[in-house]
Amino acid sequence: MKKLFTILLFSALTLTAAMSQTVDGVLSKYFESIGGIDKWKTLKTIKLIGQLPTPQGEFGFEMIKKAPNKMLVSVDVMGQKLVPQAFDGEVAWTLNPFTGNPEPQKLPEEQLKDLKRDAVFEDPFIDFAAKGSEVTYEGTADLDGIKCHILKLVQNKGQEGNESVSTYYFDSESYLPMMTKQTVNAGMGPQEVDIYFSDYQDIGNGLVMPFSMDQRVGGQSMQTIKFTKITVDEEVADDIFKFPGE
C-alpha cells in the first residue's frame, strides 16, 4: 500500500510539473509573439480608436487605459458624448444623456466586478501567480480549422464571489490568441461570451495587438469592433477617469 501511494504521489507530482512546463512554454511563446514581456511591462497608457457598430449605424469610439487600473470608454453619438463604462480605480460609472438624465451614474455592484477585472492595465498572464491567479493547460482543440493550445485563467483564485474564469485559445503556430471564452454579467444574469481576435498589427516598437474583436453569443456574432488606430504611452491625466459626480 505504501509503495502504491508513493507511485501515485510521484505520478501526481510529475503530471503537475509537466503541466507547469506546458503553461510556461505556451506563455513564453505568446509573450514573444506580441513583442516581448519586458516591453509590455514598461507600458503606462494605451489608447484605442475605432468604430462601434450599433443598430443605428457606426459611431466613433475611444478606449483609454492607464496603469495600474484606470479605464474610460467614450462614444461620439451625433455630437454627444456617451460613456458606456469608466473606472477611476475606485468608482465605476457611466454617462448616457440619451436616457434623459445628463448626470453620470455609478454602476451597480454586479457590473463593478467585471469592470474592475477589465480595467487592470497589465496583461493578466504577466506574473499571474503573484496576482492571485491560476493558469492551467487544458490540452488542444481545433478552432476554425486551426489547432490551438488551450489555457484556463482563474483570476482571484479562491476569493468567493470574485473569482473569474477565462479560457484562451492560442494558435499553435503563431501563439497569438484566437479566441477567449468569458462569463460576463450583462445586466440579465451571467452570460458566456466568445471573443474572437484577428487582424494583428504592429502598433509600434514591435508590440502587436489585434485590430478586430468579434463578440459572439451562442455562436452568433453580436458585435464586431474594429480599431483604426492604437497608440501607447501618450500622456494621459488621471482626471479624465474620475467620476464627475463628486
pLDDT at 246 over 90: no
**What predicted TM-score, i.e. pTM, was given to this entire model?**
0.84
Judged against a pLDDT cut of 60, whether residue 9 lies above it is answered with: no
Contact between residue 51 and residue 58 where contact means Cβ atoms under 8 Å apart:
yes
The backbone region for 145, taken as left when phi is positive above 0, alpha when psi lies in -120 to 50, beta otherwise, is left
pLDDT of the residue at 140: 94
- DSSP E strands in the chain: the ranges are 45-54, 57-66, 70-77, 80-87, 92-95, 105-106, 134-143, 146-155, 164-171, 177-185, 190-204, 207-217, 220-232
Q: Taking 70 as the threshold, does the pLDDT of residue 199 lie above it? A: yes
**Domain assignment present for 246:** no
Whether pLDDT at 73 is above 90: yes
Q: What's the CATH number where 220 sits? A: 2.50.20.10
Residue 57 maps to a domain? yes
**pLDDT score at 63:** 94
Residue 194 resides in a domain: yes
Q: At which residue does the C-alpha cell 503541466 appear?
A: 19
Structural domain including 54 reads 2-241
Q: How many domains does the chain have?
A: 1
Q: What is the pLDDT of residue 126?
A: 96
